[in-house]
């Protein structure tokens, strides 16, 4: 997943996914007026996602970045299991921001200070015609997009939409995380089935895609909830190993590959336990250069897990960093290592025990 960094806001990195860039280029070619709408839409989506993230940060939930996809924004969080209250507040923050924005636009427009405030310009926009009044056009676009985005996210109680997450959070206060997700996922599927039918009968392609997207999202959510719940049954202490391979700082790529072959591992540390080289990184280097390339040049920095971290937090550290072996620290000292394979096996066993 290649994406480009746009900037950092409130300590959160905003990235543009390559498919989004492709989509925008496609739109510019197709119709300049549509690209203008989408540009405004992407700014609004970014602010919407940032609102979620700012609330998350307030509750010490770490948000590593926001990726803008053609279908909307996605916040990458380091923690997946949230307290119901936090999830509720985080979920409603995005749509609430949109309503606030729409309200301010409406208030400003209705004072008449601005040259034009023609909110019915929506018709002209959707026809793809460029209205004569550019300012009025922009204002009306800002109003309508905020209103639609807010309402769409808030009032469809289908997970993974914001309304669905808020709904799940309320259920989780009563029945706990997994049962709440099950009920929320079933509700989502009923809603998407209805949306799908409406889309078919009204030949609405966008609605059709949205319903499929929500359906798949609901499935992913239930899968994740079951995994997280299974993980609470894993005894992390049993998975911690004492040793891992660490090469000298001046080791070459050839040394790294030799160690990997000898010990049947896909990752070795170089110099210290903060830098690791993965087999996939090596495969990108020409074989002839293995002997004269330092392994440390390919190494990525590894964020370790703290001793006593929950299994789901550890799993998140594996996936967010895309590594196979994770050092475990107690204070500043490395006290052991966890292998991703072993954790995944433990999750499978725990899921089967859960039934």
Nearest approach, Cβ of 250 to Zn ion (angstroms)?
48
Task: Pick the catalytic residue from 15, 49, 87, 339.
Answer: 49
Distance CA 340, CA 267 (A): 11
Short-list 301, 302, 343, 306, CA closest to 328: 306
Which residue number, 156 or 256, has a Cβ lying nearer to Zn ion? 156
Stretch that binds Zn ion, among 22-30, 160-168, 246-254, 280-288 (CB under 5 A): 160-168
Where are any strands of DSSP class E within 95-242?
none
One-character DSSP codes across 1-40: --EEEEEEETTEEEEEEHHHHHHHHHHHHH-HHHHHHHHH
Stretch that binds Zn ion, among 151-159, 177-185, 247-255, 270-278 (CB under 5 A): 151-159
- The residue behind tokens 């109680």 is 157
Nearest approach, Cβ of 178 to Zn ion (angstroms)?
23
Q: Could you confirm whether 49 is annotated as catalytic?
A: yes
Which residue number, 149 or 234, has a Cβ lying nearer to Zn ion? 149
Q: Classify residue 29 as exposed, middle or buried by CB count within 10 Å of its CB (0-12, 13-18, 19+).
A: exposed
Examine residue 312 and tell whether it contacts Zn ion (CB under 5 A): no
Distance CA 138, CA 121 (A): 9
Q: Classify residue 112 as exposed, middle or buried by CB count within 10 Å of its CB (0-12, 13-18, 19+).
A: exposed
Token digits of residue 168: 């799940």
State the angle between helix axes of 311-321 and 205-231 in degrees (0 to 180), rounded to the nearest 10: 130
Which residue number, 150 or 311, has a Cβ lying nearer to Zn ion? 150
Stretch that binds Zn ion, among 23-31, 132-140, 147-155, 267-275 (CB under 5 A): 147-155
Number of residues that bind Zn ion (CB under 5 A): 3
Which residue number, 51 or 252, has a Cβ lying nearer to Zn ion? 51
Strand partners, 267: 278
In this chain, which of 162, 221, 255, 312 binds Zn ion, going by CB under 5 A? Answer: 162
Which residue number, 140 or 153, has a Cβ lying nearer to Zn ion? 153
Nearest approach, Cβ of 165 to Zn ion (angstroms)?
8
Which residue number, 146 or 267, has a Cβ lying nearer to Zn ion? 146
Which residue number, 162 or 339, has a Cβ lying nearer to Zn ion? 162
178 secondary structure, DSSP code: H
Q: Which residues, in sequence order, are CB contacts of 302 under 8 Å at separation 6+?
A: 269, 273, 274, 275, 276, 321, 323, 326, 327
Short-list 180, 4, 3, 194, CA closest to 84: 180
| Residue whose Cβ sits closest to Zn ion | 94
Stretch that binds Zn ion, among 15-23, 154-162, 235-243, 270-278 (CB under 5 A): 154-162
- What number of CA atoms fall less than 13 Å from residue 89's CA on the CB side? 12
Task: Answer for the pair 270, 247: CB distance below 8 angstroms, yes or no.
Answer: yes
Nearest approach, Cβ of 91 to Zn ion (angstroms)?
7
3-class DSSP state of 254: helix
Stretch that binds Zn ion, among 159-167, 194-202, 248-256, 319-327 (CB under 5 A): 159-167
In this structure, which long-range contacts are made by residues 41-45, counting pairs with CB atoms below 8 Å and at least 24 apart in sequence?
41/145, 41/149, 42/68, 44/98, 44/101, 44/142, 44/145, 44/146, 44/149, 45/72, 45/73, 45/149
Nearest approach, Cβ of 81 to Zn ion (angstroms)?
19
Nearest approach, Cβ of 77 to Zn ion (angstroms)?
13
Considering only residues 59 to 118 of the shown chain, the ones binding Zn ion according to CB under 5 A are 94
Nearest approach, Cβ of 75 to Zn ion (angstroms)?
8
Residues that bind Zn ion (CB under 5 A): 94, 153, 162
> Which residues are the active-site residues?
49
């Amino acid at each position: 997943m290649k994406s480009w960094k746009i900037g950092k806001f409130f300590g959160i990195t905003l990235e543009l996914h390559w498919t989004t860039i492709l989509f925008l280029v496609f739109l510019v070619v197709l119709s300049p007026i549509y690209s203008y709408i989408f540009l405004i839409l992407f700014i609004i989506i970014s602010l919407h996602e940032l609102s979620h993230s700012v609330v998350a940060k307030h509750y010490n939930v770490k948000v590593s970045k926001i990726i803008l996809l053609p279908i909307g924004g996605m916040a990458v969080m380091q923690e997946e299991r949230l307290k119901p209250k936090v999830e509720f507040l985080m979920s409603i923050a995005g749509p609430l921001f949109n309503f606030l924005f729409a309200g301010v636009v409406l208030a400003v427009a209705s004072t008449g200070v601005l040259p034009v405030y023609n909110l019915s310009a929506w018709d002209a926009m959707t026809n793809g015609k460029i209205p004569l009044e550019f300012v009025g056009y922009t204002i009306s676009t800002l109003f309508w997009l905020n209103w639609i985005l807010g309402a769409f996210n808030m009032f469809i109680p289908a997970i993974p939409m914001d309304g669905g997450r808020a709904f799940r959070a309320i259920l989780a206060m009563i029945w706990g995380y997994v049962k709440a997700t099950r009920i929320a996922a079933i509700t989502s599927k009923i809603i998407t089935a209805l949306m799908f039918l409406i889309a078919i009968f009204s030949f609405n392609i966008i609605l059709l895609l949205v319903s499929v997207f929500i359906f798949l999202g609901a499935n992913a959510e239930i899968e994740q909830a079951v995994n997280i719940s299974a993980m609470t049954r894993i005894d992390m202490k049993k998975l911690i190993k004492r040793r891992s391979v660490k090469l000298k700082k001046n080791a070459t790529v050839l040394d790294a590959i030799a160690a990997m072959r000898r010990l049947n591992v896909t990752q070795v540390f170089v110099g210290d336990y903060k830098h690791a080289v993965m087999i996939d990184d090596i495969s990108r280097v020409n074989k002839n250069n293995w002997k004269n390339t330092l392994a440390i040049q390919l190494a990525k920095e590894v964020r370790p897990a703290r001793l006593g971290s929950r299994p789901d937090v550890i799993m998140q550290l594996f996936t967010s960093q895309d590594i196979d072996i994770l050092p475990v620290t107690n204070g500043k000292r490395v006290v052991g290592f966890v292998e991703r394979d072993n954790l995944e096996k433990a999750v499978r066993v725990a899921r089967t025990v859960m039934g």
